[in-house]
Amino acid sequence: MNVPPQQQPAPPVAAAAAAPKPNQPLALWEIEANAMSLQREHRLLHELLRAFHNFNRVQCTKLRAEGNSSLSDLINWKFKDIRLLLENLSNHPTNPGGQQIGDKKIKELQALSWFITDRSRRGLTFDLNLYRQEASMYITYAEIDAEIGNDEAAVKPDKFKYVNWNKWEESVYIYLDSIVGKSGAPLSYVIRKDLEAGKNWDDLDRKAQQIHTAPLQGFTFNLDSKRVLTLLKELCLDTGAETWFRNITCGRAVMKAL
């Protein structure tokens, strides 16, 4: 297929916990989830934290109190903010050993948030079986992504020139590709082109999938589009090209006009 999959914030049914067999006692996390009437994403997150990552009940309760009660609540939770919150919670334990959250637990939650966010940005379902299989690797991926976010942007393109238009256009893509937008995808998504004929979305690398999945409408797109618009205006200032988009207020539309 040549188009990205539809955004699916809800996890697939297959990711849900299997129902207990008759006469088989419920696991502790199931008893707790039933008592709180947790359903779907809320129940899945509780299972992951309690049964897979071994968070204790008090830690899970405090996370829910902070507004992190379902898988979707973890989307776009910033790497450094997770550590900041959990370390702050650890400094004010409700009882000895109850709310204390160590470094390993912080990294595990950062990894889970990274996984859920990445799947969401690429329009993929929350494959929790995949997460469980490679959970330790996602700790590394989350750390690497956090470091990449601190990298400097590529060299800013030169002023617009009629000569070598293709090279100038490519330099704009390269520059925007090095900056993460408010959507979480590289800013180049704002001026992305359609996939080439015969090229499938599934065959793209993770970054390209993000670029070709981010919506071209909505609040974050409008913010990112304005940023691209400002850049293009700067690059075309005092050139003949600025007259081509004088009344255009969308960065994507400006690139098309050029």
Q: For residue range 172-214, list pLDDT tens digits in order.
A: 999 999 999 999 999 999 999 888 888 899 889 999 999 999 9
Query: Which ranges constitute the DSSP H helices of 48-182?
Result: 57-65, 79-90, 103-121, 128-133, 135-148, 165-177
pLDDT at 111 over 80: yes
Res. 95 pLDDT band, cuts 50 70 90: low
141-150, 184-193, 217-226, 233-242, range with the lowest pLDDT: 233-242
Note the pTM of the prediction, 2 decimals: 0.81
Res. 166 pLDDT band, cuts 50 70 90: confident
14-23, 94-103, 113-122, 143-152, range with the lowest pLDDT: 14-23
55 backbone dihedrals φ, ψ, rounded to 5°: -70, 145
Query: 40: phi > 0 → left, psi -120 to 50 → alpha, else beta; which?
Result: left
Q: How far apart are CA 247 and CA 197, in angstroms?
A: 33
Q: Kindly report the CA angle at 69 between 93 and 25, in degrees rounded to 5?
A: 90
Res. 3 pLDDT band, cuts 50 70 90: low
- Residue 143 tokens read as 């750390």
Q: How far apart are CA 232 and CA 258, in angstroms?
A: 10
Q: How far apart are CA 190 and CA 127, in angstroms?
A: 28
In DSSP notation, 9-75 reads -SPPGGGSPPPPPTTPPPPHHHHHHHHTT--HHHHHHHHIIIIIS---HHHHHHHHHTT--SGGGGT
Q: Are 71 and 126 in contact (CB under 8 A)?
A: yes
pLDDT at 106 over 60: yes
- Residue 192 tokens read as 């992305």
Q: How far apart are CA 48 and CA 46, in angstroms?
A: 5
Print burial letters for 15-29: b (CB count within 10 Å at least 16), e (below 16).
Answer: bebeeeeeeeeeeeb
